[in-house]
Amino acid sequence: MNDTILPGSGFDTYEEQDKVLVGMSGGVDSSVAVRILQQQGFAVTGAVIRFSDAHDGAVQAARQAAQQLGIECIVLDAQALFEQEVVAPFCADYCAGRTPNPCVRCNPAVKFTALLAAADRLGIQYIATGHYARVEVDADGVSRIHLPQSAARDQTYMLSRLDQEVLSRLVLPLGEFEKDDVRQMARDFGLDCADAPDSMEICFIPGGDYAAFIRDRGMEGKAGRFISPDGEDLGPHKGVLHYTVGQRKGLGIALGEPVFIREICPNGDIRLARAGEEFFTTVTVDGIVTPDGQPLPAGTYKVKVRSAAQAQSAAFDGVDTLVFEQPVRAPAPGQTAAFYRNDAVAGSGFITSAR
């Protein structure tokens, strides 16, 4: 067996590693993860999670993929937990002028909780997914998320809040591959999903109109006014749930020059800035978690302030404040700040403010 795709530094016996529960979506990544594990000699069981009514298509796709892969695929119902831990906070955040990241919340609170519970019921020690990241046991004996081979597909930010209970049992077979390699493997394996497009939308909001989704639930964002870069009142906006820090398009403001949202104020007003003024040096965070459950020490880290951003060097005071060496663009309250040491996730917190 090739231990490079397994959690940690290996296993003591084959019997300890011969079963794995793989979270499936019906897409190319999770399907190739299954096939890789099968080729490694594992007895694989699939699991697809039904988070909401919007996931019925994914459930069917996962079942079809499992049939082609020759494995059982069980359906896990996580609707109530998903509503409580992801959907309700998502709506509340937008209505308060924050910008949530539902995947970062879902992974520790719902997805991996459901997978571990199912694995325990089935007597399976390990779980796996098709995320692009690696799990390694560091010298201190702590399992940590590490950067993948593919910088373009890096999903460590989305996994940055996972704890030791999950990480010590997690297998990530795609951490050593590029996306093009994975698609080619799917073709070589003869998988029907080989060329299926990647999903880019919020999984529980088909079409991506999150504002309409929130309004359909009887919720409205705070009202307020647009405030120009010079402090001028530009009139009312549509409600804070329609906007996020750093946004340029869709503002409906004509000032003769590009403007961005710099700040969504507690009273509902939205302060605009000229191009270049949407950068900040100091960011505060709360809700910090670490892979080992210990406080995050003060020091210098590489920090991502959003999923697609480059990690930037910042000094952390050991409490709640980050000071970046170079200003970072549009760190939005509600988003995650993921901390890295070397190529490993050291911690994760939620952005509360920037200046």
* Strand pairing class (170-171; 126-128): parallel
Catalytic residue among 73, 91, 106, 193: 106
Phi and psi, residue 214, nearest 5°:
-70, -45
Residues 106, 112, 114, 117, Cα dihedral to 10°: -150
Tokens representing residue 40 in the block = 């490694």
- Catalytic-residue membership of 103: no
Please list, in sequence order, all residues whose beta carbon lies within 8 angstroms of the beta carbon of residue 38, skipping any fewer than 6 positions away: 44, 69, 71
Using DSSP, state whether 36 is helix, strand or coil.
Answer: helix
Tokens representing residue 58 in the block = 């994914």
Phi and psi, residue 260, nearest 5°:
-125, 160
Residues 269, 90, 88, 206, Cα dihedral to 10°: 120
CB of 184 within 8 A of CB of 15? Answer: no
- Catalytic-residue membership of 95: no
Which of the residues are catalytic? 106, 203
